[in-house]
Structure 1
Amino acid sequence: MDVLQFNGYRVENMSYQRNDQYRQTSKQIIFSPEISSDIEKNGNNISVSLTVVVGALDKTETPFQATCSLVGSFVYHPEEDKANIGLNTLVQKNAVAILYPYIRAIISMLTNSSNEFPGFNLPTINVSDALAQQNN
C-alpha cells in the first residue's frame, strides 16, 4: 500500500476563450501560467484542488485564455509513512505533482482544438516549487 493513495480526479472546470483584444505581431507570445491550489483535509482523506490559467483576456499580448481546475482525491496511510515524511509534505509536494500532468493534457487539448492559434503545452515543472514562488 502507498503512503499517499490516489483515488482519482474530477474536472471542476475547463475552458478556452479567444481574446478579442489580441493584436497579432511578429513578437513571440510568452505565457506565464498562473497556478493555484487548495487542500482540504478530513482525517486521512484529502481533497486537493489544482487550477492553472494560461493567458489573459485583458491583455493584447495573449490570443486566448485557457483554464483548467481539477480536484484529486487522496488517502493518507500514516502506518506506511516509514520515513516520517508527514501528511503536509506529501500533499503539498506529491499530490499536486500527481494532478499536474492531467491539467497539462487538458490545456494542450483545449488550445490545440482552437484551430486558430498554435496549441500550447504547459512546461514540465516542479509544481510545488512554482506554487511556493508564486505565493511569495
Structure 2
Amino acid sequence: MKLRAYTVDKMSFMLNKQFRAEPGQKVQIKPIFNREITKVNAQRFVNTVSVSLTNIEQDTPFYLDVQIYGVFDVEDWEDPQTNKFVIKNATDVLYPYLRTIVTTLTANGHVPPYVLPMANVDAIFH
C-alpha cells in the first residue's frame, strides 16, 4: 500500500460564544468520527476520514468539522483479506494528519488546544 497524496477537504471552526466554563470545570468533548472508502480502480482507492464536534446541544467551547482524504495505491485490492488490511492501515496513516489539523485549528482559535486522543483507530472508525 502506498499513499499517493492526501488533501484537506474541509476545515471549519466556530467559537461557541455562549460557553462559560466554571473554575475547575472539566469540559467533556465527544468527537464523532466517520470513514468512507471509495474504490477508484483495481489498484487505487480513496479513504476519506472526518471528525466533527458540531452538536449545538453539547456545552463545548467550540464547534469543529474536519475532513481529509488520502489516495492510496494497493495491489490485489479485490482480495478480501488485503481489502480489510489496507482499509485499517490507510486509516492509521491518515489519523495523525487529522489529529494535527484539529490541534492547529483549536490552538489558533484562542481556546486551549484540543488534541484528538491516541486511540485504536479501527475502533473509532467503525
**TM bracket (short chain):** 0.7 to 0.9
Tell me, yes or no, if structure 1 residue 61 matches structure 2 residue 59.
Answer: yes
Question: CA separation of 1:37/1:52 partners in 2, compared to 1, >3 Å: closer, same or farther?
Answer: same
Letter in 2 for 1:128: D
2:104 equivalent among 89, 92, 109 = 109
Determine if contact 2:91/2:121 at 8 Å carries over to the other structure: yes
Letter in 1 for 2:30: S
Q: Give the structure 1 partner of residue 6 of structure 2.
A: 9
Deviation sequence 1:65-105 (CA, Å, 0-9, x none): 12210110001123xxxxx7733212321011100000100
Give the gaps of 5 or more residues in structure 1: 79-83
With structure 2 as the length reference, what TM-score do the two structures score?
A: 0.87
Letter in 2 for 1:129: A
Identity, in percent, stands at 29
Q: Please report the RMSD computed on the Cα atoms of aligned residues, expressed in angstroms.
A: 2.0
Q: CA deviation at 1:60?
A: 5.3
Aligned length: 123
Tell me, yes or no, if structure 1 residue 91 matches structure 2 residue 89.
Answer: no
Moved over 3 A (4+): none
With structure 1 as the length reference, what TM-score do the two structures score?
A: 0.81
Q: Give the structure 1 partner of residue 28 of structure 2.
A: 30
Q: CA deviation at 1:37?
A: 0.7
Give the gaps of 5 or more residues in structure 2: none
